[in-house]
Structure 1
């Protein structure tokens, strides 16, 4: 049999509540007394516990969402667990997958994408990162922040039919976890150093893998970086997250034959970056200029330490 958990009225004046945090996922089994969710009534935060054992069938409300009293929050199947039952490893959240799917369909159907790719010699980044203890991705994030300051139009959002330049840089970064893909945001990061960006990115990535990101830590992105280099992908084109103007796709570093200024061949560690841009906001020249600036920082990475 199914148990339905709805937004209860916790005081006489309560008309709506905010789902602050889920402590369960679809497919989990719960026992009586297990913590299910935290609800904010406007005056206090209430902890909701399971009254019966069962399996979570569906979560109907997202974290951070405010809904009226009586709204269905979750459904639990009270059927008993089968007899060599084992606890399943955490899998990708169906809810997260649905949210991503909806956003990506909206993006692909409504945004006129175009794509620009550059190849970057990462020799100096590879040499420098070992001495200062940051990752290649940290250098890319820092280069994007510096470049967005020089090309603020790329840091725009499409709002009510027009591009609106944003006063702060909120850099979103794609993090793939066992539960699905998350986009934590380095909020107002225009003033951070390379080391500061590295520390904040590591903190957010850890929280994403642990499932501890808050709604606020995933909101307000103005530009996104998606890195698949660790998966061995040479290059790819990412889909823009509305209402942002662009997303930067980062491939893997691989040795390639290059020709120096004297016409002599050699091998260099090359990285390909592909900018997916909204043609309503950016033209080809805008994208090319932005990528040229990113390239200049990554090929002279000492400039990112200051």
Structure 2
């Protein structure tokens, strides 16, 4: 029986993606591990590998299709002895996709609807199974079909495929074991009255009507822009933010940085002020460990290592790649790693594990001439440091004398569910002390 190739979940939160490019064509023979397609998520373009061997019988979803739901059949794989006729004889099933725009308008000025696909995909494999705790078990369609025929419980089988996916070889030698009886469903609790919905803005049609007769260009939102809009709107509405502000004198740091960069010229390393900020934050999270935490719904997870996220602006949005164990890495290591992450972020080549996680973030707009600003906490982080530019200002020294210093303004946005005012003040003080006494960070 032909096997469906399903739209993969390339990250834990992925629900749909864009099938950017097919790397195979109908009739090609593929083996486990061969690259099949490039899939665009809301954050990156990733390569999708085959988990079973066979021949590509039919491609069901054309490249360029947007909004392809996870677990939608995108192609059909034929095993030995099967042909394309077996695919055509299978019951039809409509893939859930948004067809790519053709660029040709219909009579109403909108994009012309794409014709419905005429190719019928193969008969579906058994539904994707779930573990006892409700989490999804990743298994190839062929593995699910074999498991169903043999009466195997996929929850008891360890997968050897990419990202732990269960493949054909894992189930062929397995023997059936009795499945645990399902517990009777608990009696439904009395439904609590629904909370009033948050007020929504005017609809797209209502906004367009306001500007009827005015010239404008409609910019379609891509997956990244939609995700940023949804998550930051939710963050601003649900996270109880408060803000702490400090000025930091940078003269000692700038002098120390200049001396280090002269010594590092032979190694091709040039430290930026941002590298020092990353290190200062990482060490401060170790000095104030209660603040090195994340919000987890009904509990707080206090982290051991300092994993610091840094916002990187890219065309159409931003990434927050995470520098893990930043507290124990040297300044030169942090600098090299940050440059690599930023470059791959702009090329949308980061893997999910490189931009997920962390307990605290940094957003630096100083290089754009911004003196100060307030950033939105990126959940589940407990805080984010908004960094402005260093500006020459008159300050009063410890001896009471007026002098000129390079001053950088920072604002720390904090999730009050995780960090209270005094704790946040301690964390920000530790960051300031690290930056104003940079040699301490090397001790």
Unaligned stretches of 5+ in structure 1? 1-8, 62-66, 82-90
CA contact (8 A) 2:21 2:38 kept: no
* Structure 1 pair 290–53 and aligned structure 2 pair: CA distance change class (3 A): closer
Task: Pick from 3, 28, 31 the counterpart of residue 11 of structure 1.
Answer: 3
Paired residue for 1:68? 71
Task: Pick from 411, 414, 435 the counterpart of residue 274 of structure 1.
Answer: 411
Task: Pick from 273, 293, 296 the counterpart of residue 433 of structure 2.
Answer: 296
Equivalent-residue separation in structure 2 for 1:290 and 1:167 (angstroms): 15
| SS of structure 1 residue aligned to 2:8 | strand
* Structure 1 pair 215–29 and aligned structure 2 pair: CA distance change class (3 A): closer
Could you list the per-position Cα deviations for residues 132-155 of structure 1 after superposition, in whole angstroms to 9, with x for gaps in the alignment? 230001000000000001112222
CA contact (8 A) 1:93 1:179 kept: no
| TM-score between both structures, scaled by the size of structure 1 | 0.78
Q: State the Cα distance separating 1:297 from its structure 2 match.
A: 0.7
| SS of structure 1 residue aligned to 2:327 | helix
1:183-222 matches, within 5 Å, as 183-222=320-359
Equivalent-residue separation in structure 2 for 1:285 and 1:233 (angstroms): 27
Residue 380 (structure 2) pairs with residue 229 (structure 1): no
144-153 or 70-79: bigger deviation: 70-79
Q: Report the RMSD for the aligned CA atoms in angstroms.
A: 3.5
Equivalent-residue separation in structure 1 for 2:2 and 2:330 (angstroms): 46
| SS of structure 1 residue aligned to 2:100 | strand
CA contact (8 A) 2:21 2:37 kept: no
Equivalent-residue separation in structure 1 for 2:366 and 2:220 (angstroms): 21
Residue 390 (structure 2) pairs with residue 253 (structure 1): yes
Task: Pick from 179, 191, 206 the counterpart of residue 316 of structure 2.
Answer: 179
Q: State the Cα distance separating 1:74 from its structure 2 match.
A: 5.2
Paired residue for 2:66? 58
Larger Rg: 2
Alignment length (residue pairs): 275
Task: Pick from 70, 77, 100 the counterpart of residue 228 of structure 2.
Answer: 100
Residue 271 (structure 2) pairs with residue 134 (structure 1): yes
Residue 420 (structure 2) pairs with residue 287 (structure 1): no
Equivalent-residue separation in structure 1 for 2:349 and 2:221 (angstroms): 14
Q: State the Cα distance separating 1:231 from its structure 2 match.
A: 1.0
Paired residue for 2:192? none
Equivalent-residue separation in structure 1 for 2:220 and 2:305 (angstroms): 32
Equivalent-residue separation in structure 1 for 2:296 and 2:413 (angstroms): 18
CA contact (8 A) 2:279 2:326 kept: no
* Structure 1 pair 52–218 and aligned structure 2 pair: CA distance change class (3 A): closer
Q: State the Cα distance separating 1:36 from its structure 2 match.
A: 4.4
